[in-house]
Structures are given as structure tokens and as C-alpha cells.
């Protein structure tokens, strides 16, 4: 088993330019995502310049770029501007703004205008149901359920993700995405739960490429060798 054998689509999640361009070239990467938090951590100061720079190379695979305003009128302006940057661009719209106002009316408006959307920050079935009712079934879209954040609360996200898939059955062009991936295992959980896409941070993609399919007995021995090497390096004595 390698990353090329997966049925689920792997999207690389990050804002490191070198990492984005390297992963974009990999055949097992089917798309890319980023967000304002990742961009801020990467030290990006000019959102539009960075995005357009990336889009000089990223042309043949979908990429999701997010709005970042609380004002819903301005959010529509940002969304239309982002969408204009390329036919492969999906505009990320959060389910609410940062003060909790619903973005569903805007999602409906943008869908009617043919904008490809990635609806993000979804954590409840009620939210997914609302999105399922608001999306335009004639326009491609992505529905991003933050399964990792659900798991962080001690709740198994798999049953909920399966239920989300059922809610989206009336949206033939909507793809369910497992977001906030925490470990390699999540890739297989997402695939088994019926997700079309999982978005994976660059470091976890690196771990998956290195570790997937490793023999566990050999891995056990490597672990013991690591302990022995580090004990010797520390000069431990008893």
C-alpha cells in the first residue's frame, strides 16, 4: 500500500510555498487547501500576492482559498474576487462569521452565481444539513467537516462523518472533505467513512509517505535502536 493506491483524494494543507509546489508535483496529491491561520504562521503579509504567486504554478489541480472578513457584504466581494483568480479556485466560506452570524444566505447567493465553494469549519450535523440545503446542485462544491476537532473533544467523528455523507446525497456535485487531520490513520478512517477528500498537513503527508506499509516487527527494532542510540549519546550510566 502506498499513497498512490488510495481511493480517497489527498489534498495538501499548508501555506509554505516550497512545500506547496513540491506536493503539487506529486501524482498522489489531487488538490490543495490553505487558510488565514496557516498563512499567518508562514509569515505571509500580502494575501493576494501570495495567492496569485502560487496560482502561477497551481493550475491543474483544485485549490481552496479563504475569505477573511466578518461583514457579509464584504465577504461576497472577497469571494467573487478570489473566485476570479482561476477556474481551479474554490472559495472557502466559513459556516458563520466570527461573531456567529450564519453565512448560509451568502453561500446560497454565491452558488446561484456559479461560484465553486468550499464551506468550512463545519462541526455539527445541523450545520451540514443547512449547507446541503443552500448549495447549488449544479455547481461543484466541497463540504469540509472538521473531524479532527470533533475527535479532540473526545467524540468519535466517524459516525457523524458517515451521517454527513447521507445528508449530502441530494448534492451530486458536493464532495465531503475530512478536515483537521491529526494522524496518518485519519486518512483510512476518512476513506472508510465515505469521504471524497481528506486535507492533510504537509508534515503528516511526509510521515504517511515514509511510514505507510512499514513492517511492524522491523519498526519495533528501529524503535529499540533509537532508544539505545539516544541513551549512548546522553552518556547514561547506572
Taking only the tens place, the pLDDT of each residue in 157-190 is 999 999 999 999 999 999 999 999 999 999 999 9
Q: Whole-angstrom Cα distance, residue 165 to residue 22?
A: 31
pTM metric for this prediction = 0.96
pLDDT at site 146: 98
pLDDT at site 1: 84
pLDDT at site 203: 97
Interhelix angle for 125-134 vs 158-167, to 10°?
Answer: 20
Give tens-digit pLDDT for 100-128.
999 999 999 999 999 999 999 999 999 99
E-strand stretches of 129-193: 141-145, 174-178
Low-confidence stretches of the chain (pLDDT beneath 70) = none
Provide CB contacts within 8 A for 15, sequence distance 6+. 34, 35, 38, 39, 41, 42, 44, 50
| Nearest Cα to Cα of residue 214 among 222, 224, 225 | 222
Interhelix angle for 17-24 vs 202-211, to 10°?
Answer: 40
Copy the grid coordinates of residue 24. Answer: 503539487
Amino acid at each position: 500500500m502506498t499513497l498512490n493506491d488510495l481511493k480517497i483524494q489527498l489534498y495538501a494543507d499548508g501555506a509554505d510555498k516550497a512545500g506547496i509546489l513540491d506536493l503539487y508535483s506529486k501524482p498522489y496529491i489531487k488538490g490543495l487547501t490553505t487558510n488565514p491561520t496557516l498563512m499567518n504562521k508562514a509569515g505571509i503579509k500580502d494575501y493576494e500576492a501570495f495567492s496569485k504567486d502560487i496560482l502561477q504554478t497551481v493550475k491543474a489541480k483544485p485549490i481552496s482559498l479563504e475569505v477573511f472578513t466578518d461583514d457579509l457584504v464584504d465577504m461576497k466581494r472577497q469571494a467573487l474576487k478570489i473566485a476570479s483568480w482561476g477556474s481551479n479556485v474554490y472559495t472557502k466560506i466559513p459556516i458563520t462569521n466570527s461573531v456567529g452570524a450564519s453565512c448560509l444566505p451568502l453561500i446560497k447567493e454565491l452558488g446561484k452565481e456559479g461560484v465553486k465553494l468550499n464551506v468550512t469549519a463545519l462541526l455539527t450535523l445541523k450545520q451540514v444539513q443547512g449547507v446541503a440545503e443552500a448549495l447549488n446542485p449544479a455547481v461543484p462544491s466541497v463540504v469540509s467537516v472538521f473531524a479532527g476537532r470533533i475527535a479532540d473533544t473526545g467524540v468519535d467523528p466517524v459516525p457523524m462523518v458517515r451521517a454527513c455523507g447521507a445528508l449530502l446525497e441530494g448534492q451530486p456535485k458536493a464532495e465531503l472533505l475530512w478536515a483537521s487531520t491529526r494522524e496518518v490513520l485519519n486518512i483510512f478512517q476518512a476513506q472508510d467513512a465515505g469521504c471524497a477528500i481528506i486535507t492533510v498537513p504537509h508534515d503528516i503527508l511526509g510521515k504517511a509517505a515514509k511510514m505507510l506499509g512499514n513492517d511492524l516487527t522491523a519498526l519495533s527494532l528501529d524503535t529499540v535502536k533509537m532508544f539505545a542510540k539516544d541513551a549512548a549519546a546522553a552518556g547514561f550510566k547506572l
